[in-house]
């Protein structure tokens, strides 16, 4: 049975990936999920799989060398899928240090421990051993508004926020391990994900949550910044396909072919909520365009991201499958059916975060 070590599996993309993998492979695989359970990690995301015999949760910080080395000693790990990171740009602007700690140092610990466990005396590795580093399109910086400009795997790194600088550093460490030790790895750089279990500090769940409560919808700057949105399950599939079919040592960009301005996203969410809420639902009258509130811009706000996922399509056969109209309906439906999840994650610390983050906006 193949054993996966997933880091950050209690977060948004990690938990969706674990669900995807169990749906696809069932009892053919075993997953060890290591997560420090920061504000962004939530074991509720995994309650459907927690009793499986082939799922093990280990609470540990990826910066803790001993704890990570122990996992490699205890389990014969074949694949690492490394999601764990501090992931929110706004938080990185307020407090960059923890981003360097987790994203850079934590990745170094993961690489070191995997290398120590996997490297054979002659410096080679068994073919079953593979490390996948999950990264972001933000490492490439910002594109002009010209719709013919895209990020490619060959685009130069030009990160602007502390978050993207820390992810770029972690990518370069992975590249250094591949070049120096022939360490068997891949990097994927993905665009903006959306879907179930996303923490409501990010644009889409924040807008859904605020709109349903008739609260202001904060739009940074002129609302015309462009992001390329990908349904999270399509991302999970891409990660699996890269490990199964990708060439080792290669980077693959993963994108949704779905560029939209932030203000368009907000309009689509409001229209879709209106369509989906039953006529007698009291929230229907709260959901209006009047909630849209332009606020101070994000510092260093990247204007446009867009990925041309040509390489992953031609080499591996992956393509985004979920149209935005369908993906956003599924996401909203999930939030309707999981109101308690939203209540639980937005109680306590989230309230403090929200007041602090938006007080000057």
Between 164 and 193, how does the x/- string for binding to ligand DAU read (CB under 6 A)? ---------------------------xx-
Residue number of the CB atom closest to ligand NAD? 11
Query: What are the Cα distances from residue 186, in Å, to 80, 256, 302, 303, 347?
Result: 10, 20, 26, 28, 38
Active site residue 73: no
Within 213-242, which residues bind ligand DAU (CB under 6 A)? 218-220, 225, 227
Tell me the DSSP string of 260-287. Answer: EEHHHHHHHHHHHHHHHS-TT-GGGGT-
Nearer to ligand DAU, 46 or 230 (CB): 230
CB 283 within 8 A of CB 123: no
Among 6, 108, 168, 206, the residue binding ligand DAU under the rule CB under 6 A is: 206
Q: Is 137 in the site for ligand DAU (CB under 6 A)?
A: yes
Applying the rule CB under 6 A, the residues between 3 and 32 that interact with ligand DAU are none
Interacting partner of 36 out of ligand DAU, ligand NAD, none (Cβ under 5 to 8 A depending on kind)? ligand NAD
Q: In b/e form, how buried is each residue of 76-109, taking b as 16+ CB within 10 angstroms?
A: ebbbbbbbbbbbbbbbbbeebeebbebbbbbbbb
Q: Applying CB under 6 A, which part among 60-68, 111-119, 135-143, 240-248 lies near ligand DAU?
A: 135-143
Alpha-carbon distance values, 220 to 90, 104, 230, 238, 289 (Å): 11, 28, 21, 31, 16
Beta-strand relationship, 217-220 and 292-295: parallel
User: How many CA atoms does the CB half-sphere of 324 hold within 13 Å?
Assistant: 19
Single out the catalytic residue among 78, 138, 233, 259: 138
**How near is the Cβ of 37 to ligand NAD at its closest, in Å?**
5
Contact between residue 221 and residue 35 where contact means Cβ atoms under 8 Å apart: no
Q: Which of 208, 262, 260, 195 is nearest to 234 (CA)?
A: 195
Nearer to ligand DAU by C-beta: 8 or 184?
8
Provide the 8-state DSSP code for 97: H
Q: Which residues here bind ligand NAD, judged by CB under 6 A?
A: 7-8, 10-14, 35-38, 40-41, 61-63, 83-87, 102, 106, 134, 136, 167, 190, 192-193, 199
* Cα separation of the two ends of the chain: 52
Decide if residue 88 touches ligand DAU (CB under 6 A).
yes
What span, in angstroms and rounded, lies between the C-alpha atoms of 159 and 197? 27
How many residues touch ligand DAU under the rule CB under 6 A: the total is 19
For residue 56, give both structure tokens.
């093990």
- Rg of the chain over Cα atoms, rounded to whole angstroms, equals 20
Number of CB atoms found within 10 A of residue 274's CB:
12
Nearer to ligand DAU, 61 or 201 (CB): 201
CB of 135 to ligand DAU, least distance (A): 8
305: partner contacted, choices ligand DAU, ligand NAD, none (Cβ within 5-8 A by kind): ligand DAU
- Residue at token pair 């999270």: 232
Residues 291-310 interacting with ligand DAU (rule: CB under 6 A): 298, 305
Shortest distance (Å) from residue 268 CB to ligand DAU:
13
| Min separation Cβ 97 and ligand NAD, Å | 12
Helix or strand holding residue 345 (H, E): helix 339-346
Q: For residue 138, indicate whether it is catalytic.
A: yes
Nearer to ligand DAU, 30 or 167 (CB): 167
Q: Which residue is nearest to ligand DAU (CB)?
A: 136
Instruction: State the residues that interact with ligand DAU by CB under 6 A.
Output: 87-89, 136-138, 191-192, 202-203, 206, 218-220, 225, 227, 262, 298, 305
Residues noted as catalytic: 137-138, 163
């Amino acid at each position: 049975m193949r054993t996966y070590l997933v880091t950050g599996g209690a977060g948004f993309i990690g938990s969706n990936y674990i669900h995807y993998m169990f749906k696809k492979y069932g009892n053919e695989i075993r997953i060890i999920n290591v997560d420090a359970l920061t504000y962004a990690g939530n074991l509720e995301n995994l309650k459907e799989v927690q009793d499986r015999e082939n799922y093990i949760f280990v609470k540990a910080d990826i910066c803790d060398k001993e704890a990570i080395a122990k996992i490699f000693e205890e389990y014969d790990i074949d694949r690492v899928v490394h999601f764990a990171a501090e992931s929110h740009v706004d938080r990185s602007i307020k407090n960059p240090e923890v981003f360097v700690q987790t994203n850079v140092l934590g990745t170094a610990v993961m690489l070191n421990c995997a290398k120590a466990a996997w490297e054979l005396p002659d410096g080679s590795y068994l073919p079953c051993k593979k490390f996948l580093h999950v990264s972001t399109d933000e490492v490439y910086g910002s594109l002009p508004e010209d719709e013919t400009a895209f990020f490619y795997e060959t685009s130069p790194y030009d990160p602007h926020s502390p978050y993207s600088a820390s992810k770029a550093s972690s990518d370069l460490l992975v590249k250094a391990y591949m070049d120096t030790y022939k360490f068997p790895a891949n990097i994927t750089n993905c665009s903006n994900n959306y879907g179930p279990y996303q923490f409501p500090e990010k644009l889409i769940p924040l807008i859904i949550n605020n709109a349903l409560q008739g609260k202001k919808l904060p739009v940074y700057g002129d609302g015309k910044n462009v992001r390329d949105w990908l349904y999270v399950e399509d991302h999970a599939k891409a990660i699996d396909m890269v490990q199964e079919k990708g060439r080792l040592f290669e980077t693959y960009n993963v994108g949704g072919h779905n560029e939209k301005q932030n203000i368009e996203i907000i309009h689509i969410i409001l229209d879709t909520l209106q369509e989906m809420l039953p006529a007698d639902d009291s929230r229907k009258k709260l959901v209006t365009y009047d909630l849209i509130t332009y606020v101070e811009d994000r510092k260093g706000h990247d204007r446009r991201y867009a990925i041309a996922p040509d390489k992953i399509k031609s080499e591996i056969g992956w393509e985004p499958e979920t149209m935005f109209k369908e993906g956003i309906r599924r996401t909203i439906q999930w939030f309707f059916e999981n109101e308690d999840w939203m209540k639980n994650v937005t109680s306590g610390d989230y309230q403090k975060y929200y007041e602090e983050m938006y007080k000057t906006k």
